[in-house]
A = this chain, B = another copy of it.
Amino acid sequence: MPDISGTRAADHTQRPLSQIKAVVFDTFGTVVDWRTGIAREAAPFIARHGLGVAPEAFADGWRRRYQPAMEPIRAGQRPYVPLDTLHRENLVDLLAELAPGATWPEEELSELTRSWHRLDPWPDVIAGLARLKQRTIIGPLSNGNIALLVNMAKRAGLPWDVILGSDISRAYKPHPTAYTATAAALGIAPAECMLVAAHNGDLTAARRAGLATGFVARPREHGPRQTIDLAPSDDWEVVASDFVDLAERFGC
């Protein structure tokens, strides 16, 4: 763990776990391994069209467009559209880079866009969530839309109590509304809600919005050469090694 004494917010009060009524989860990267899943889903398309790119590089290129695509919506310059729409636009943009001037069958684009509905969880996720669910409400707090998240949960067996997609808050993290609207939808105070994420930046924004925070590192999210988010950057209420460890912190 890094020395975090200098970065800790002076006025922050740690939230005791006993007051937590809901634990909500960042999804892409924290719950599911998007890179491996997208590479697997895209490989046949890449081969069929002779794109000559490694499936993992295709996944990285698609994901690289994720944060910039949400920026105009966060800034209020574009009305809210669901993540399925942004994934589709980003795919078209990536394909234009890989094969300038080419056109693609509509059905293949739709199907490939839905790859984000078909991602597998990290190995500890199902066991950890099943235990935690006995103690508290669990759900995703994701930039994904409800349709994406329910299809993902159904396929992967994620035992969510509730699906809190971005189409409830109509805001994209790290906009404060994404966090506060989630607690409000659950009828609880922000301090009664914990966000668990593998991304320190997400937790920083959640804490600013009044939520409790939990960190679980996913050191292979970005592949074998990942350099970011390998350790907690602040004194999050919980730092757990995986979701089973997280459940144990809650006495489950």
| A residues with CB within 8 A of B | 84, 137, 145-148, 150-151, 153-154, 160-163, 165, 167-168, 185-188
* Min distance, Cβ A213 to any Cβ of chain B, angstroms: 21
Contact B84 A146 (CB under 8 A): no
Chain B residues within 8 Å of A165, by CB: 185
Chain B residues within 8 Å of A163, by CB: 161-163
| With known contacts A154-B161, A168-B168, A185–B147 Cβ distance under 8 A | yes
- In the bound complex, how far is the Cα of B150 from the Cα of A226, in angstroms? 37
Chain B residues within 8 Å of A146, by CB: 162, 168, 185-187
- In the bound complex, how far is the Cα of B161 from the Cα of A167, in angstroms? 17
Between A146, A148, A167, the greatest number of chain B beta carbons within 10 A of the residue's beta carbon is seen for: A146
Contact B84 A150 (CB under 8 A): no
* Min distance, Cβ A131 to any Cβ of chain B, angstroms: 15
Chain B residues within 8 Å of A185, by CB: 145-147, 165, 167
| With known contacts A84-B187, A168-B168, A187-B84, A153–B147 Cβ distance under 8 A | no
Chain B residue with minimal CB distance to A82?
A: B187
Question: Could you pull out 18 A-B pairs where Cβ atoms are within 8 angstroms?
Answer: A84-B187, A137-B150, A137-B154, A145-B185, A145-B187, A146-B162, A146-B185, A146-B187, A147-B185, A147-B186, A147-B188, A148-B187, A150-B162, A150-B186, A154-B161, A162-B163, A165-B185, A168-B168
